[in-house]
């Protein structure tokens, strides 16, 4: 991680207030945080909040943030996920430097801690199945029932645990449990499982181990071994904190981390469960973890979301202790804010109608100077070719236009962006009655969009592309929200029933300004009057980029919702 400290926020959240107090009191001389993902899937927008918090605090306070992979369940973990997580964190703008760790780094130490608990009479080997343990765990109103194997001697437990490690028992035949209190009001304290037998090849340790520690046994001790000062978790781990504290109090660990919980990120029109995201991938509702409709960081990156926009969004929603759901429109607005400032403008006609300017010389070609980005003078200008045949978007023409339709229609004029005024004189149709071409005239006195000297006025400006110079064939992919319901994931509804059938549309007849042929994978652009787009970095071919719609110029869903 960079040694440079970030600017501290003017209004501090409760976590930063705690850190300030700990530093002021001398409890800690510095700050060490960590981000501990399980490598069993790709990171999503919820993880982005946790990343910005833990890494951001480390930057602000001149400390460090460890990246530690919780790789305690090899049956679901893959190196692919390890690699993708590191890529996502770096893309967001953070770096862990040399502080990369794995829970598997501590397997020998954790095994020793388990032996310590057995010797202290605080852990035992249980022969019950998981189903039997669940049946005797009790309820919130009733205490659990002690295992019939709870009173085994220390010697017997040590021998059995060693045999578990040596692979002398089948998977599921035995577990190691802490001996705490089966009547405890906190269900997590009712003799939790510490180790289970699991024969699965581990992506780092191979086949060395056939027993693996549970997450609850690994989490706190890993923090202690890394001398983490402030262990930041989401609220679902609040009830687990007494168990983590019990382990720390009963083990010879080198440090005492403080766990602090905050509200996780929930967003409308989205599901955040890794299990459900995996289901979307495996059942082919999406093309993969990095499908641009997915709430994964890799999906958002491929769609063209700027990393700065995600960081700004996480900063805007803040850190609280109360679960809530944030409108995805806030995220989309954060994306627009960054892209409006940084993206160059180009003209693109997605659903073209041909226009022939009958009074324009067929051999003539003019070049018009257009501004690349009105928000950034340093972006300069470009030259755009203009000729007799053009393309305009079908949405910008209406044959029988109502009074409030100000774009092109029969007998009316409209301004072509940066070029001339255009008037429609004749409409050509095919046998099916569909408009295929417009015959128009232009006013040469209006070059550059200037108003004519006779006082005529128009109320609309439309974009266009020279038919002779258009970059084609071009593929444009229109991505939208994956779900049609703002809360698709509840106990009363199946999230798959709310897949938005219009979340992905492919256009293959788009006509693009010729300079777009030079766009490279990941390059963003604003298609004027259409939206923000990004050259896809997966399906890229030299000279044949695919453009993904990142977000529209405005929130079209707000209009639908208000009807």
- Cα distances from 522 to residues 421, 464, 542, 550, in angstroms, run 35, 24, 13, 11
Angle value at C-alpha 348, between 347 and 354, nearest 5 degrees: 110
Q: Which of 38, 344, 389, 472 is catalytic?
A: 38
Per DSSP, 258 falls in state: E
The burial class, CB within 10 Å (0-12 / 13-18 / 19+), for 17 is exposed
Which residues, in sequence order, are CB contacts of 488 under 8 Å at separation 6+? 269, 270, 271, 495, 497, 498
346 is catalytic: no
283 is catalytic: no
Q: How far apart are alpha carbons 458 and 199 in whole angstroms?
A: 75
Q: By C-alpha distance, which of 382, 346, 338, 343 is closest to 523?
A: 343
Query: How is the beta sheet containing 64-69 ordered, strand by strand?
Result: 32-35, 64-69, 100-102
Instruction: State how far Cα 333 lies from the chain centre.
Output: 15
38 is catalytic: yes
Q: How would you label 177-203 residue by residue, b for 16+ Cβ within 10 Å and e otherwise?
A: bbbbebebeeebbbbbbbbbbbeeebb
Q: Which of 122, 199, 264, 417 is catalytic?
A: 264
Hey, what are 155's tokens?
A: 């010697």
Q: How far apart are alpha carbons 538 and 74 in whole angstroms?
A: 29
Q: By C-alpha distance, which of 429, 391, 395 is closest to 409?
A: 395
Q: Which of 177, 274, 336, 481 is catalytic?
A: 274
- Which amino acids are annotated catalytic? 38, 264, 274
């Amino acid at each position: 991680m960079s040694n440079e400290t970030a600017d501290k926020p003017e209004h501090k959240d409760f976590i930063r207030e705690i850190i300030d107090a700990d530093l002021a009191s001398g409890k800690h001389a510095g700050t060490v945080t960590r981000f501990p993902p399980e490598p069993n899937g790709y990171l999503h927008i919820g993880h982005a909040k946790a990343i910005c918090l833990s890494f951001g605090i480390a930057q602000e306070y001149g400390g460090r943030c460890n990246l530690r992979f919780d790789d305690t369940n090899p049956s679901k973990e893959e190196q692919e996920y390890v690699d993708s997580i590191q890529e996502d964190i770096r893309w967001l703008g953070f770096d862990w430097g040399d502080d990369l760790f794995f829970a598997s780094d501590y397997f020998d130490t954790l095994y020793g801690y388990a032996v310590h608990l057995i010797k202290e009479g605080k852990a035992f080997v249980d022969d019950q199945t998981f189903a039997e343990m669940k049946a005797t765990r009790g309820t919130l109103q009733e205490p659990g029932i002690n295992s019939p194997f709870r009173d085994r001697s220390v010697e017997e437990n040590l021998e059995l645990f060693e045999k578990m490690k040596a692979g002398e028992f089948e998977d599921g035949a035995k577990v190691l449990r802490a001996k705490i209190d089966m009547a405890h009001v906190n269900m997590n304290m009712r003799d939790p499982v510490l180790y289970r037998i699991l024969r699965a090849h581990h992506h780092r340790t191979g086949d060395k181990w056939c027993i693996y520690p549970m997450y609850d046994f690994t989490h706190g001790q890993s923090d202690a071994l890394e001398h983490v000062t402030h262990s930041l978790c989401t609220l679902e781990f609040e009830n687990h904190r007494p168990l983590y504290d019990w382990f720390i109090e009963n083990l010879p660990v080198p440090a005492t981390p403080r766990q602090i919980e905050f509200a996780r990120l929930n967003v409308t029109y989205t599901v955040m469960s890794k299990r459900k995201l995996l289901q979307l991938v495996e059942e082919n509702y999406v093309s993969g973890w990095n499908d641009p409709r997915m709430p994964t960081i890799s999906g958002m990156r491929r769609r063209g979301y700027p990393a700065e926009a995600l960081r700004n969004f996480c900063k805007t929603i803040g850190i609280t202790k109360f679960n809530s759901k944030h409108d995805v429109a806030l995220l989309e607005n954060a994306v627009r804010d960054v892209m409006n400032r940084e993206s160059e403008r180009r003209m693109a006609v997605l659903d073209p109608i041909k226009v022939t300017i009958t009074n324009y010389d067929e051999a003539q070609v003019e070049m018009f100077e257009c501004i690349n980005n009105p928000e950034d003078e340093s972006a300069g200008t470009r030259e755009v070719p203009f000729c007799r045949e053009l393309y305009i978007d079908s949405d910008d023409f209406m044959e029988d236009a109502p009074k409030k339709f100000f774009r092109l229609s029969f007998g009316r004029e409209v301004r072509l962006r940066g070029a001339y005024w255009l008037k429609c004189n004749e409409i050509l149709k095919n046998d099916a009655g569909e408009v295929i071409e417009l015959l128009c005239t232009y006013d040469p006195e209006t070059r550059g969009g200037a108003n004519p000297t006779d006082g005529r006025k128009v109320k609309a400006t439309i974009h266009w592309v020279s038919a002779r110079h258009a970059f084609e064939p071009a593929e444009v992919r229109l991505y939208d929200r994956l779900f049609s319901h703002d809360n698709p994931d509840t106990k009363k509804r199946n999230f798959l029933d709310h897949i938005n059938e219009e979340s992905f549309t492919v256009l293959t007849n788009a006509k693009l300004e010729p300079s777009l042929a030079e766009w490279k994978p990941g390059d963003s652009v604003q298609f004027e009057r259409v939206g923000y787009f990004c050259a896809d970095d997966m399906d890229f071919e030299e000279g044949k980029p695919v453009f993904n719609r990142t977000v529209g110029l405005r929130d079209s869903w707000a209009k639908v919702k208000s009807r």
